[in-house]
Amino acid sequence: VSPVRWMPLFSVTLDAYRNMVKDKIVAMPTKNQFKWSMLNLGKVEITCIYVTADTSIRASKKLGFVVGGTYTYQRALDMTSPSGSTYGHQIPYTPRVSGSGRFAVETPWIDVAYSLLWSGKRYSLFQNYAENRLPGYNDHSISASRTFKFKDKSLLISAEVLNFLNENYAIVKWFPMPGRSVRGTVSVRF
């Protein structure tokens, strides 16, 4: 927490760990979205570094900014059998690098925000061959919201444009994510 009045929040965290997992269960999709196979890996070694940074800045009483982001490096390797064809390979659907970012402008009239989710390449099968590689992706979204206060009640109205660049990507092979979409929300608190 920052003691500076114009920067009421400043936070940076760093987590690092190494896990040796026995009997790791990995879910794998089949050609049917509703049927997944569960596979047991005898030994998986996971090394991870996770970094976050968040800050808020008050430019004036009526204008503020919020900025933040995350970065993850994760190496999750199948170490079950040294003679196996997947020994030392990254386990499926686990990107080596991924992260997120966000930026918001806060005013008394409207709050506007931008967010980014991104993932590096990952593999759809246990063998880390080029034909099993899924490309990385980015998902950009923007939103605008306004809160109206009435005595002890509040009304929030918001609108979002998700994946506004309309990027085609699949987190899971054969199951594409939706393109650009718009969502509106109205909520009342009392």
* Mean pLDDT within 121-140: 95
How many angstroms separate the CA atoms of 171 and 118, rounded?
A: 11
Q: For the purposes of burial, counting CB atoms within 10 Å of the CB of 34, is it exposed (0-12), middle (13-18) or buried (19 or more)? A: exposed
How many angstroms separate the CA atoms of 127 and 40, rounded?
A: 15
How many angstroms separate the CA atoms of 72 and 54, rounded?
A: 15
What's the distance, CA 5 to chain centroid? 30
The two tokens of residue 184 are: 């509106």
Closest CA to 94 of 117, 130, 70, 124: 124
Q: Which residues lie closer than 8 Å to 82 by C-beta, 6 or more apart? A: none
φ, ψ for residue 111 (rounded to 5)?
-110, 130
* Mean pLDDT within 54-80: 95
Q: In this predicted model, what pLDDT tens digit does every residue of 88-128 receive, in sequence order? A: 999 999 999 999 999 999 999 999 999 999 999 999 999 99
Closest CA to 126 of 78, 82, 171, 81: 78
pTM: predicted TM-score of the whole model, two decimal places: 0.84
pLDDT of residue 30: 73
**pLDDT classification of 4: cutoffs 50, 70, 90:** low
**pLDDT classification of 141: cutoffs 50, 70, 90:** very high
